[in-house]
Structure formats: structure tokens, C-alpha cells
């Protein structure tokens, strides 16, 4: 065993499985190193709701026997994995960041489709990660579990709503995580924490139970790089009868198409979607460098906006209505336990009429058609993932920004939940405070493999290489 345990937690899933196959190290060694990191990450950022050390080590021992016999269960066998605490995981409560969910209530005996697929393929689950209450906002703090900080500066937000997953991956507490994205919730925290995340085409990854936020909500992989996401996508995209809106399973492997050519791709670079959004100069420069890297690889780049209006009001109608539905069953006493901001949007959502909702659906359909037309000309749209880097932890909006809701500072993510397009974020630099910057790659519906291929090319050219966050104790 040649690799020191203190370094095993920094390896990608792809590297880990290669090491298992070669006998360089074992799933048990890796899981022990990962659990040490998980404890350190929890102490620094509060990114876990639960660390399942005993269960993880037991699963790792079973994985070790399979690798020793040359019979791994699947491509992620023995890989430490975390799961956002909105996604059902057999044997552990899914509390959704809410004091209104009782841990002692249901039996917690069912896996969500993505978790079931990962478990079947041998993943080692090391814990559940934090979320704002019911995943309602783009930062991660909740009445039940408190505030999750950023690995690069614990006083800043990790983003959200999959902030716990992003912090865990960034700090070596498992290279793979399952998050959810209803308005940017894997991309926002991945951008703030310097990791990779993909919101695939809606329906590509089966989802159960159905989200109260309807077809805005996706399950998304959060990883150290695009190659690990391709690995996860090959596992979690199979059919599951519990999701009535799933897409038919694809036939091609995401890993097999990852290294295809970038030369000749038609890339639209839009610095701000054509909207009056101030993008921090350091972010604009870093995103421009990433675009230039794709051009140097032979992509045809044009600076052009997609010609769409900001659909934030339509998004609010759909999102706030969904939030109201989440808490509809609660009595007055339980409502007083909710995050005050969530309570506000639920009250607003309850006032919308069916006609208001259908008008928002009309806006959504028109936006989808406009983007479909745009992608007849361009294979990819590139924007900043966020116009800002991580701000004060525990706040929904940056101090002095003038915004009242999280959607005000994250205008580049939620449009593509409305359109159901694949969208990924790739780290592309750091600002003057050492905080990560992300570039967003958006493809036409069903072009998930193309988005991953372009993202992988940025990793291959070194564009995504940024300093790692400091690890407490050096472990």
C-alpha cells in the first residue's frame, strides 16, 4: 500500500477505482481516510447532518472482498459518497433541514432511485449533507442544522441548496455526492466551493418522491471533476418506474464520449445573458479565459446573448407555489418552527391563483422555445455561473446588495431549470480573497454528453486547476 492514508481522501473516484483494481490501496483504507476528513469538514463547515461511520466501514469491507475477488459490483464500488438530506437513503432519516420533520416518524426503509443505483454499484455512503429547509434557497442554513460555511472561508456561505454536498466534496469527505437542483442548487454551491456539478436534462436522472417544486427539480452529481460526474451519470441514469416523468435511458456511456473533440463546436459566450447584471471584474476575466481555452482547442466562439428576458417572476410563481405546497399540511404551531424566509415565500405562494400559475407555465414554454431556437445555431452557451463569489454565511442575500430574495444574486442558474436544459459549472479561477469562481456551460436539451465533453476539455487544459481549501490538521 504505497499511498499514505492522509492523501487518499484527495483522490478522485476514477483514480480510486483504478487503485483498487491494481491493489495499490483498499476501500477500507480510503473510507477511514475519508471519515477523518468528514469529521474535519464537519468541524470546519458544518456540512453534515449525519456521519455514518460504522455503516460506511462495514460497506467498505464488503467492497474490499469484491475487489479482492476481482468482482466489483459496479464502477463506483468502494467509493465514499455523500447524499444531500433531501434524498431518501435507506436506514437514515431524511430530515430536510426542518424541525417539522420527525426522525422517529417513518421507517426510513426506502432509497431514492439515484441512491439505489449507487448502492447497487457498491458506493460507500459516509453520511447525509446539509440543506436549507426543504431546499428553498441558494444558501445553506436551516433551523434544524444551523449554518454551513465555505471550505475556503468558513465565515462565507457554501452556497445552496446543496451546500453541504459541495463543502464535503471540496474538503475530501468523499469524491462523489448526490445533490438536487431546482434553481441552481448544485451549480451555485459548486461554483462557491470550487468543484464540478451537473444539472442534467430534466428526467435524465430519475427522481422519487416527486418534488413539490415539480419539473424544476433535478438530482445532480457533485464531484471533483467532469470525469467523475460521467462515472456517476453512467450509474444513476437508469430507468425507475417510480418517476413517471423520466426520460428513456440512453444507450451511450457518458465515460465513453467524454474525450470526444471540442474543435468545431459552436460556442456562444454571453457575459451576462444580455441583462443589466453587474458581474465582478475578476469573475468576468476568469470566465473569458475559460472561453479562450475552448477557442484555442478549435471551438468557434462568438460573443452573443440568447435574446431572452429575465424570467424571474415566472420562476417565483412556480417556486413559491411549490414551497406553499410543501408546508400546506402543517398546523400553526409547526409553521412557527419554519425558517422565517421560507414562511414568507409560502405565504406569497399561497396567494397565487391557478391562472397565475398557468401564466408562469406559458412564460416557461416560450423561454424553452427561444432557447431551443438559439441552440439551432449554437451548441453551447457559456456564462458566469454566478456574478459574485461567496458572501457572508447565514445570510440569504449579500449585505448592501439591495436584493430581497436569493434569486436576485443568482440570475444565471434558474432560467435553465425552467427550460430543463443541461447545465454544468466548472471552476475557472479564484478572486482576490482566494474564493472560487465558476464558469457555466449550458447545452440544448438532451445534450448532456456534449456539456460533459466540453467541461472535461477545460479540466484537461488545466483551466479548472485552483488551489485546494486548507484542511484542518493537514489530514
Share of the chain above pLDDT 90, in %: 94
Domains of the chain, earliest start first: 12-237+251-474 (3.90.1300.10)
The set of cell numbers assigned to 408 is: 436576485
What integer is the mean pLDDT of 100-129? 95
Per DSSP, the three-state class of 306 is coil
Question: Of the listed 63, 162, 185, 211, which one is catalytic?
Answer: 185
- Sequence-separated (6 or more) residues with CB below 8 Å from residue 379: 265, 266, 267, 443, 444, 447, 450
Give the model's pLDDT for residue 472.
Answer: 61
Q: Quote the mean pLDDT of the chain.
A: 96
Give the model's pLDDT for residue 474.
Answer: 47
Cβ–Cβ under 8 Å, residues 352 and 317: yes
Give the model's pLDDT for residue 249.
Answer: 83
Q: Sheet of 423-430: strands edge to edge?
A: 48-51, 124-129, 80-84, 176-181, 218-223, 196-199, 423-430, 436-443, 380-384, 266-269, 300-303
pLDDT at 473 over 70: no
- Sequence-separated (6 or more) residues with CB below 8 Å from residue 175: 11, 12, 13, 16, 79, 80, 169, 223, 224, 228
Q: Which helix (H) or strand (E) holds 309?
A: none
Q: Which helix (H) or strand (E) holds 457?
A: helix 448-460
Question: Of the listed 26, 63, 98, 161, which one is catalytic?
Answer: 161
Distance between CA 365 and CA 372 in Å, rounded? 10
Give the model's pLDDT for residue 23.
Answer: 97
Asked, as a colleague might, if the bond just before 68 is cis with ω within 30 of 0, I would say: no
Active site residue 185: yes
Active site residue 128: no
What integer is the mean pLDDT of 290-314? 98
DSSP state, residue 178 = E
Distance between CA 159 and CA 155 in Å, rounded? 12
pLDDT at 4 over 50: no
pLDDT at 339 over 70: yes
Instruction: Note the pLDDT tens digit of each residue in 62-77.
Output: 999 999 999 999 999 9
What integer is the mean pLDDT of 316-333? 97
What integer is the mean pLDDT of 420-437? 98
Instruction: Note the pLDDT tens digit of each residue in 351-360.
Output: 999 999 999 9
What integer is the mean pLDDT of 396-424? 98
| Banded pLDDT at 2 (limits 50, 70, 90) | very low
Whether the model clears a pTM of 0.95, i.e. scores above it, the answer is yes
Give the model's pLDDT for residue 92.
Answer: 96
User: CB atoms < 10 A from the CB of 292, how many?
Assistant: 14
Torsion over CA: 12, 13, 18, 24 (sign) = positive
Distance between CA 278 and CA 303 in Å, rounded? 17
pLDDT at 25 over 80: yes
Per DSSP, the three-state class of 441 is strand
Question: Of the listed 26, 63, 84, 191, which one is catalytic?
Answer: 84
Cβ–Cβ under 8 Å, residues 190 and 225: no
Active site residue 161: yes
Q: Is 439 exposed, middle or buried (0-12, 13-18, 19+ CB in 10 A)?
A: buried
What integer is the mean pLDDT of 345-356? 98
Give the model's pLDDT for residue 252.
Answer: 86
Give the model's pLDDT for residue 22.
Answer: 97
| Banded pLDDT at 6 (limits 50, 70, 90) | very low
pLDDT at 44 over 80: yes
The set of cell numbers assigned to 360 is: 408562469
pLDDT at 297 over 90: yes
| Residues written for the chain | 475
Amino acid at each position: 500500500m504505497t499511498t499514505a492514508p492522509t492523501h487518499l481522501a484527495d483522490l478522485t473516484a476514477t483514480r480510486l477505482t483504478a487503485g483498487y483494481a491494481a491493489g495499490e490501496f483498499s476501500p477500507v483504507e480510503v473510507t477511514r481516510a475519508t471519515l477523518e476528513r468528514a469529521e474535519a469538514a464537519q468541524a470546519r463547515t458544518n456540512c453534515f447532518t449525519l456521519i455514518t461511520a460504522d455503516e460506511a466501514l462495514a460497506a467498505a469491507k464488503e467492497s474490499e472482498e469484491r475487489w479482492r475477488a476481482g468482482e466489483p459490483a459496479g464502477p463506483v464500488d468502494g467509493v465514499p459518497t455523500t447524499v444531500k438530506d433531501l434524498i431518501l437513503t435507506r436506514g437514515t432519516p431524511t430530515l430536510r433541514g426542518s424541525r417539522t420533520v420527525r426522525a422517529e416518524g417513518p421507517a426510513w426503509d426506502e432509497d431514492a432511485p439515484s441512491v439505489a443505483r449507487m448502492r447497487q454499484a457498491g458506493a460507500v455512503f459516509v453520511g447525509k449533507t446539509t440543506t436549507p429547509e426543504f431546499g428553498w434557497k441558494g444558501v445553506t442554513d436551516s433551523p434544524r442544522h444551523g449554518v454551513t460555511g465555505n471550505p475556503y472561508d468558513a465565515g462565507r456561505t457554501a452556497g445552496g441548496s446543496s451546500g453541504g454536498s459541495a463543502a464535503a466534496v471540496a474538503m475530501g469527505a468523499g469524491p462523489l455526492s448526490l445533490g438536487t437542483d431546482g434553481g441552481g442548487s448544485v451549480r451555485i454551491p459548486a461554483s462557491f466551493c470550487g468543484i464540478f456539478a451537473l444539472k442534467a436534462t430534466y428526467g435524465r436522472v430519475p427522481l422519487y418522491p416527486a418534488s413539490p417544486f415539480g419539473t424544476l427539480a433535478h438530482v445532480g452529481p457533485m464531484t471533483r471533476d467532469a470525469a467523475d460526474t460521467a462515472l456517476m451519470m453512467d450509474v444513476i441514469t437508469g430507468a425507475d418506474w417510480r418517476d413517471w416523468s423520466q426520460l428513456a435511458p440512453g444507450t451511450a456511456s457518458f465515460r465513453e464520449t467524454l474525450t470526444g473533440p471540442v474543435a468545431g463546436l459552436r460556442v456562444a459566450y454571453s457575459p451576462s445573458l444580455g441583462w443589466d447584471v453587474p458581474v465582478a471584474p475578476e469573475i468576468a476575466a476568469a470566465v473569458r479565459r475559460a472561453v479562450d481555452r475552448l477557442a484555442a482547442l478549435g471551438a468557434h466562439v462568438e460573443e452573443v446573448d440568447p435574446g431572452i428576458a429575465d424570467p424571474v417572476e415566472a420562476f417565483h410563481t412556480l417556486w413559491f407555489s411549490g414551497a406553499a405546497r410543501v408546508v400546506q399540511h402543517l398546523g400553526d404551531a409547526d409553521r412557527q418552527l419554519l425558517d422565517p424566509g421560507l414562511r414568507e415565500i409560502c405565504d406569497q405562494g399561497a396567494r397565487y391563483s391557478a391562472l397565475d400559475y398557468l401564466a408562469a407555465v406559458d412564460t416557461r414554454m416560450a423561454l424553452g422555445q427561444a432557447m431551443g431556437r438559439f441552440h439551432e445555431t449554437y451548441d453551447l452557451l457559456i456564462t458566469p455561473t454566478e456574478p459574485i463569489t461567496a458572501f457572508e454565511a447565514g445570510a440569504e442575500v449579500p449585505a448592501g446588495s439591495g436584493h430581497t430574495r436569493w434569486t436576485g444574486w443568482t440570475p444565471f442558474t434558474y432560467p435553465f431549470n425552467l427550460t430543463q436544459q443541461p447545465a454544468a459549472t466548472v471552476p475557472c479561477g479564484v478572486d482576490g480573497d482566494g474564493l472560487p469562481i465558476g464558469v457555466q456551460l449550458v447545452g440544448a436539451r438532451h445534450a448532456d454528453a456534449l456539456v460533459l465533453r466540453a467541461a472535461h476539455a477545460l479540466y484537461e487544459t488545466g483551466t479548472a486547476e485552483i488551489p485546494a481549501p486548507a484542511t484542518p490538521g493537514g489530514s
